[in-house]
Structure 1
Amino acid sequence: MQNFHMYAATASGIEALAGRELRDLGYETKVENGRVRFDGTIADAIRTNLWLRTADRIKIIVAEFDARTFDELFEKTKAYPWDQLLPMDARFPVEGRSQKSQLHSVPNVQAIVKKAIVNKLSDVYHRRTRLPETGQLYPLEVAINKDHVLLTLDTTGASLFKRGYRLDKGTAPLKENMAAALIDITTWHPKTMPFLDPTCGSGTLPIEAALIGRNIAPGFNRDFVCESWDWVDAQISKDLRAEADSLADYDAELEIYGSDIDGSMIDISRVNAQEAGVLHDIQFKQVAVADLKLELDDGVIISNPPYGERMSDRESVHKLYRQMGHVFRPMRTSSAYFLTADLEFEEYYGEKATKKRKLYNGALRTDYFQYWAKERSQKFTKGKDS
Structure 2
Amino acid sequence: MGTYQIIATSAMGLEALVAKEVRALGYECQVENGKVIYTGDEYAIAKSNLWLRTADRIKIIIGEFKALTFDELFEKTKALPWEQFLPVDAEFPVSGKSVKSKLFSVSDCQAIVKKAIVERMKLQYKKTGWLEENGSLYRVEVALLKDIATITIDASGQGLHKRGFRASQGAAPLKETLAAALVMLTNWHPDRPFIDPFCGSGTIPIEAAMIGQNIAPGFNRDFVSENWKWMPQKVWQEARNEAEDLAKYDQPLDIIGSDIDHRMVKIASENSFEAGLADVIQFKQMRVQDISVKKEYGVIIGNPPYGERLGEKQEVEQMYREMGQAFSKLDTWSIYILTSNENFEELYGKPATKKRKLFNGFIKTDYYQYWGKRPPRQD
TM-score interval, normalised by the smaller of the two chains: over 0.9
The CA distance in 2 between the partners of 1:170 and 1:14, in whole Å, is 24
Match of 1:54 in 2: 54
The CA distance in 1 between the partners of 2:167 and 2:232, in whole Å, is 31
Match of 1:385 in 2: 378
Superposed CA offset, 1:255-297 (max 9, x none): 1111000111111111100111111111111011112222341
* Structure 1 residue 355, shift from structure 2 partner: 1.0
Q: Is the 8 A contact 1:194 1:254 kept in 2?
A: yes
1:82 aligns with 2:52: no
Once the two structures are superposed, the pairs formed by residues 123-202 of structure 1 within 5 Å of their partners are: 123-191=123-191, 193-202=192-201
Superposed CA offset, 1:294-338 (max 9, x none): 234101110011111122111111112112111112211111111
- What amino acid maps onto 1:325 in structure 2? G
Q: 1:336 aligns to what SS in structure 2?
A: strand
1:259 aligns with 2:265: no
- What amino acid maps onto 1:385 in structure 2? Q
Q: 1:150 aligns to what SS in structure 2?
A: strand
The CA distance in 2 between the partners of 1:195 and 1:296, in whole Å, is 10
The CA distance in 2 between the partners of 1:176 and 1:133, in whole Å, is 33
Q: Is the 8 A contact 1:118 1:131 kept in 2?
A: yes
Once the two structures are superposed, the pairs formed by residues 318-333 of structure 1 within 5 Å of their partners are: 318-333=317-332
TM-score relative to the length of structure 2? 0.98
Once the two structures are superposed, the pairs formed by residues 261-280 of structure 1 within 5 Å of their partners are: 261-280=260-279
Match of 1:113 in 2: 113
Q: 1:187 aligns to what SS in structure 2?
A: coil
TM-score relative to the length of structure 1? 0.96
Match of 2:45 in 1: 45
Q: 1:339 aligns to what SS in structure 2?
A: strand
* Structure 1 residue 104, shift from structure 2 partner: 0.7
Superposed CA offset, 1:22-45 (max 9, x none): 111111111111111111112210
Match of 1:237 in 2: 236
* Structure 1 residue 167, shift from structure 2 partner: 0.8
Match of 2:357 in 1: 358
The CA distance in 1 between the partners of 2:153 and 2:294, in whole Å, is 50
Q: Which runs of 5+ in 2 are unaligned?
A: none
With 340-349 and 176-185 compared, the bigger mean Cα shift is at 340-349
Match of 1:313 in 2: 312
Q: Is the 8 A contact 1:296 1:331 kept in 2?
A: no
Q: Which runs of 5+ in 1 are unaligned?
A: none
Q: 2:5 aligns to what SS in structure 1?
A: strand
Match of 1:207 in 2: 206
* Structure 1 residue 250, shift from structure 2 partner: 1.3
Superposed CA offset, 1:327-376 (max 9, x none): 11221111111111112211211111111111111122111111111x23
Superposed CA offset, 1:67-122 (max 9, x none): 11111111111100101100111000111011111111111111111111111111
Match of 1:289 in 2: 288
The runs of at least 4 consecutive aligned structure 1 residues that moved more than 6 Å come to none
The CA distance in 2 between the partners of 1:163 and 1:306, in whole Å, is 24
Q: 1:63 aligns to what SS in structure 2?
A: strand
1:32 aligns with 2:32: yes
- What amino acid maps onto 1:146 in structure 2? K
Q: Is the 8 A contact 1:296 1:334 kept in 2?
A: no
The CA distance in 2 between the partners of 1:295 and 1:77, in whole Å, is 63
Q: 2:366 aligns to what SS in structure 1?
A: strand
Q: When the two structures are aligned, how many residues end up with a matched partner? A: 379
